[in-house]
Structure 1
């Protein structure tokens, strides 16, 4: 038995030279194999307008994955509620929960306020913070998303995802509406009730996801909901996120004690050298995201080696590359145990991207076999 449950976060990556259809079929195949390997849950991310990522409609993919598996919990990591209504989210996931009772997770992510925050960051940039190591865990300097969030491409994405003139409500209000609709006690300002069908009374497990010690972490704690902290996306603030969640935690009908899952980017192969080769395209892939272009199709090691690469590029992605867990099964398992121990995580959520689907499947299988007491 694993000492701590292992789960998977999947972006349905599109390898260079492959198609979106290939990527989606790979997701379903990987989920089947993950269930056989003993993974606890399988989450689908939500990304838009990226040539290299096919998980733009997580609810649709969740249904396909749940249909192809039997006991694996399946969910979203996370629904971007800033361009959705609470009712649409509850109806979609309520449908899934009715079809696959006891197996569906609804992970909610804060979005819609990021452009405002980016503008504030431009006006008042944060002072530089050095890297540090906490009990063996690297906490790199924070990465500023200001250039990405203020880019023309991000503006285009926002325009396409929102109805004209629409303004996302505060995250806390959206979460409150989701929970009220699920409980069946939603009323508006005039006292009128509304009932989500499907949705009301279903056994959805609601999660909040966050990358800092800000609103998501604090709200998850205050509501007594489980929380997912993103070491793989924002490694600089993972300790702030879990600390804020635990400090704010109030027992609820959902949880008597805090429950934290922490994510990590992982590539496992038979040897450290083989794993480093498979992970080599990760830096150029992250660069494509942080340059504002959107995730490119994931290149092969040979293709990645032929791409131009500068010191500025290295600096742009250093925090992500330096905190990726790459190596033989024992190497990666040891680093994951460090992550678990330092964050006191109750569960770990691993995400792996390689060019070849067979290498990605093998990475997860090798890790599952190694992850034992």
Structure 2
């Protein structure tokens, strides 16, 4: 029996658009249709200062999606804990749960925490790695984000995402606060208590997301939480992340055994040739991310065809392009089953971007029909 399929949506703009409104309206349309196609969850991302991505405030966007859907689970992939307090996160998702009870996933990640800490963690768990194939699954060479983290643009963005002098809590500390506020009330030991309203008692499913076998994977395991590993952003580290999560897992009241979700970039069309043609702009889009300027509005096929690639620029995007699953419904479903088998995933999280919204929706529809047939 196939594992569930879920969706991660960035609300992408496309070339020629200067307003986020069309991208957000497309998200609402896609969510409605995804529910009809039989997808299990619909998650939205949190990205800031990214010209081609409109999903910057997950809780606000999820409220809009919840209002136009009926039963599909909704969540964040992921709330960046370095930019908010635990109370803000709990109140936002507590409000969503109060209005749409039992449907919300609170997915959180370390993005936005001190970059030096994240880079130190990456170096600690880094090992020399060449491209390899593991039981049919391509595991590429790792990509280093260090130059982007060190850029002046990143420093400017970081300065605007937090109060002057504020220091983000570590993952363990903010998780402690989130779990305490959800359980509520919270006391100081001297008889004083506060309660998050809304938030306390909210029926949220808490997830951690991670791109390596570092702190996020190990913390999710140690706390008995479900974990989502990135094959679409950091394909080189997906097996490491899955292994670290399972090795660290301790049963909790909410989860008796590990629950792993793995993400994948996907594009499906009626046949392989059509899919490859529609997929052409993806490399150019990834290149905009990897050069540190943030994702541009998704290019058209014609814009992609006119781009002059160098060996250096191709190398910059190779891991993402080579690990994107592109083709007919059967071709892509077979590749997803390989990903699921090799990682042992209990669920797959699919993200699809195309220049034309009709092609994007059709990709999700074709995949769902093939997967559930």
User: What band does the TM-score fall into relative to the shorter chain?
Assistant: over 0.9
Listed one character per residue, the Cα deviations across residues 121-156 of structure 1 (whole Å, up to 9, x for unaligned) are: 999996642111111000101100001111111111
The separation in 2 between residues aligned to 1:358 and 1:123, in whole angstroms, is 42
Q: CA, structure 1 residues 220+156, in 2 after alignment: closer, same or farther (shift >3 Å)?
A: same
Pair 1:5 & 2:4 matched: yes
CA distance in 1, matches of 2:289, 2:82: 20
Contact 2:90–2:178 at 8 Å: present in 1 too?
yes
**Structure 1 residue 306: Cα displacement:** 1.3
Which residue of structure 1 aligns with residue 334 of structure 2?
Answer: 334
Instruction: Find the counterpart in structure 2 of residue 29 from structure 1.
Output: 29
Structure 1 pair 135–123 and aligned structure 2 pair: CA distance change class (3 A): closer
The yes-or-no answer on 1:244 pairing with 2:244 is yes
Counterpart of 1:336 in 2: which secondary structure?
helix
Contact 1:122 1:146 in 2 (8 A): no
1:115 CA drift (Å): 1.9
Q: Aligned equivalents of 1:239 and 1:124: distance in 2?
A: 17
Per-residue deviation, 1:85: 0.1
Equivalent residue, structure 2, for 1:223: 223
Judge conservation of contact 2:122–2:214 (CA < 8 Å) in 1: no
Q: What is the alpha-carbon root mean square deviation over aligned residues? A: 1.8
Q: By how many angstroms is 1:372 displaced?
A: 2.7
Secondary structure of the residue aligned to 2:298 is coil
Structure 1 residue 64 and structure 2 residue 64: aligned?
yes
Do 1:118 and 1:146's aligned partners in 2 also have CA atoms closer than 8 Å? no
**What does the per-residue CA deviation read over 1:339-365, in whole Å, with 9 as the maximum and x for residues that have no partner?**
000011000000000000110000000
Q: Distance in 1 between matches of 2:235 and 2:180?
A: 33
Q: 1:125 to 1:242 in 2, by over 3 A?
A: closer
Aligned residues: 372
Deviates more, 1:311-320 or 1:179-188: 179-188
Deviation, structure 1 residue 195: 1.1
Q: Gaps (5+ residues) in structure 2?
A: none
Counterpart CA distance in 2 for 1:124 and 1:180 is 30
- Judged with a 3 Å threshold, the aligned counterparts in structure 2 of structure 1 residues 311 and 190 are, in CA distance, closer, same or farther, namely farther
Q: How does 1:277-356 map to 2 (within 5 A)?
A: 277-356=277-356
| Residue deviations 1:218-254 (CA, integer Å, cap 9, x gap) | 1111111111000000000101111111111111111
Deviation at 1:116, TM superposition (A): 0.6
Distance 2:238 2:126 in 1: 18
Partner of 1:194: 194
Aligned position for 2:106:
106
Task: Check conservation: 1:329, 1:367, Cα contact below 8 A.
Answer: yes
1:154-233 to 2 correspondences below 5 Å: 154-188=154-188, 192-233=192-233
Find the aligned partners of 2:107 and 2:214 in 1 and give their Cα distance: 17
Cα offset, 1:111, TM superposition: 2.6
* Cα pair distance change 1:78/1:121, threshold 3 Å: closer
1-structure distance, mates of 2:69, 2:15: 28
Name the SS of the counterpart of 1:8 in structure 2: strand
Mean alpha-carbon deviation: is it higher for 6-15 or for 184-193? Answer: 184-193
The farther-off stretch of 251-260 and 122-131 is 122-131
Alignment of 1:17-56 (within 5 A): 17-18=16-17, 19-56=19-56
Change (3 A) 1:203 1:301: same
Report what 2:258 is aligned to.
Answer: 258
Cα shift at 1:185? 4.5
Sort the Cα spacing of 1:191 and 1:84 in 2 relative to 1 into closer, same or farther, 3 A.
farther
Contact 1:282 1:321 in 2 (8 A): yes
Output the CA distance in 2 between the equivalents of 1:59 and 1:159: 22
Q: State whether residues 46 and 56 of structure 2, in contact with CA within 8 Å, keep that contact through their aligned partners in structure 1.
A: yes
Deviation per CA, 1:173-230: give whole Å up to 9, x if none. 0011101100115334766432110000010111000001111111111111111000
Which residue of structure 1 lines up, in the alignment, with residue 82 of structure 2? 82
User: Is the 8 Å Cα contact of residues 272 and 327 (structure 2) preserved in structure 1?
Assistant: yes
CA distance in 2, matches of 1:34, 1:125: 37
1:269 alignment counterpart: 269
CA contact (8 A) 1:118 1:149 kept: no
The verdict on how the C-alpha distance between 1:189 and 1:287 changes in structure 2, with shifts beyond 3 A counting, is: farther
Aligned counterparts of 2:119 and 2:238: Cα–Cα separation in 1: 23
**Residue ranges of structure 1 left out of the alignment (5+ in a row):** none
